[in-house]
Amino acid sequence: MPTCHYEKCDEQAHGRKYYSLSPENCIFHDKNFLKGDNYDINKNEVARKFLDKLSNYVSDRKALYFNGYNLPALEFVRYEFSERLKFSDATFYGLVNFFGATFTKGASFDGAAFTKGADFSNATLTNEANFSSATFAEGAYFFGAVFTERANFEYATFTEVASFSHAIFSKGAVFSRAIFSKGVDFSGATFTKEACATLRQEAYFYGATFTKEAYFYDVKFQNSDFSEAKFLNEVRFSGSEVFKDETLFRYTIFEQPTKTVFDVNDLSKVSFAGSDISKVTFTDKVKWGGNDCLKIIEEEWIETGRQNISLDLVLYVYRRLRENYEFNLKFDEAGKFFIKEMELKRKYRTIHRQDSTSSDLVGKNNWFRRHFSLTGLYYHFSSYGESIIKPTVIGIITVALSTLFWLMQSKPTLEPHFFVSSSLYHNTSHYVYLSQAGNPTQWLAAFQRSLGDFLPVLSLPSDIKVGVVDYITKIVGGALTFGLLIIAFRRKFERKYTR
């Protein structure tokens, strides 16, 4: 009987046209031998013959080359493959179970097709682990798997769930251009060498550890989670549409923040709650949410009530962003983030619950509290010390009102009669309204007294009797205005000239 037509295969062709349209190939390389109804008829024969061949190869200490094989469901629970194993371009028509198996000299499944799923949970791949261009149709499970060398899943396709939870990638992992149709789970996984991925679906890296470099190029995360992950070395996220949906970096650790780069266009759907991002690099293309492109998603959660998050945690994110932009000498943006932080304090407050088992609520302040509390007044008077224009306008208005007040007095140098006792009534000023509005001398005297009250460095003429109105002007106008101006100038000069 002739040998199989498959390249470098020494098996005999089965020649049974009844079962196949390709009788010139052996039962392992005939793609139709296990398809459709033939699967139930021929699976036992193929499995038996394969296991016999595997046993002979192991006995002879031969490399286990099964390239292009078509195989049924197989069980290799805790099996030790002592020689190099190759299943390149193989097709598995049933579930393949490699749970706890050990691949001593590596395994290559490049181009393989797992039509019913594959389980490599707790497996140990001591050398090569090549799954490039492999196809997993009904789930791929690598829970707790250990890859001692580089794991290659480039161009692999995962149609259903893909789990690498608590897997260990000792020499790095490559998932460039891999397709995860139903997402991928790397929660608790450890990457001790460089990791490179191109992902376009949900990805869960909850509690994962990246010991070395991690690069995510041209990724498109959808509802992904990096919470409590640890990036101990360089990490870079780059691409035009990286975070298309909500992505969490809650309590994530960036051990080397100056080597952490977010080179993306949009971070409006990314949460950094609880993470220290004060020295992380956000490139100039980065934009946050809101009309001003500086609004974080945590504030949206408070506004809509969609997520249960504490006010302190949201304030923490804004505080870290302010520190980040100051660290990178982007002072205008830093000031805006500070205003965002203070605006949250003005609009919301924490409501502590009596029940210790329940989390605190975030309540919205009423209108009066938002506008006339100390924080509200601080906002209206100076935008929390960030505005030079507001206190300047307050100063101008104060001087203008004071000048108008003294203009309407009969004698701007005297004290108004309603502030003194009746016995001194003859030595006081009286209201004359705007009857002296055309008198330049009256205007000059009124302005001179107002400016002298407002500017503490100026002394008033000796004929002016300082009274209550003067002190009000000094305190409300002068002290408040100059105090706010000092704060504003200090913020700007401190940021720009002390770095």
∠ CA 114-118-123, rounded to 5°: 135
Rounded distance, CA 343 to CA 323, Å? 17
Kindly report whether the global pTM for this prediction surpasses the value 0.75.
yes
Total residues found in the chain within this entry:
499
Average pLDDT over residues 118-126: 96
324-367 tens-digit pLDDT: 998 988 888 999 999 999 999 999 999 887 776 667 788 899 99
Which pLDDT score, from 0 to 100, does residue 19 have?
A: 65
Residue 170 and residue 148 in contact, taking contact as beta carbons nearer than 8 Å = yes
Which pLDDT score, from 0 to 100, does residue 258 have?
A: 92
Task: Give the C-alpha distances (Å, rounded to integers) separating 142 from 165, 248, 396, 459, 493.
Answer: 7, 23, 71, 83, 56
Which pLDDT score, from 0 to 100, does residue 421 have?
A: 52
Q: Whose CA is closest to 217, among 202, 197, 244, 233?
A: 197
Residue extents of the structural domains in the chain: 61-300, 301-385, 389-497
Rounded distance, CA 495 to CA 326, Å? 7
Q: Whose CA is closest to 273, among 237, 225, 216, 305?
A: 225
State yes or no: pLDDT of 23 exceeds 70: yes
Task: Give the C-alpha distances (Å, rounded to integers) separating 62 from 49, 81, 103.
Answer: 17, 11, 14
Q: Whose CA is closest to 250, among 309, 168, 179?
A: 309
Lowest mean pLDDT among 278-292, 325-339, 440-454, 462-476: 462-476
**Between residues 246 and 172, which one has the greater pLDDT?**
246
- List strand residue ranges (DSSP E) for 223-335, in order: 224-225, 230-231, 235-239, 247-248, 253-254, 260-264, 270-271, 281-282
Average pLDDT over residues 113-127: 95
Q: Which residues of 6-40 are buried (b: 16+ CB within 10 A; e: fewer)?
A: beebebebbeeeebbebbbbbbbbbeebbbeebee
User: Which residue type occupies 102?
Assistant: T
380-408 tens-digit pLDDT: 999 999 899 999 998 899 899 989 988 98
Average pLDDT over residues 23-31: 88
State yes or no: pLDDT of 253 exceeds 90: yes
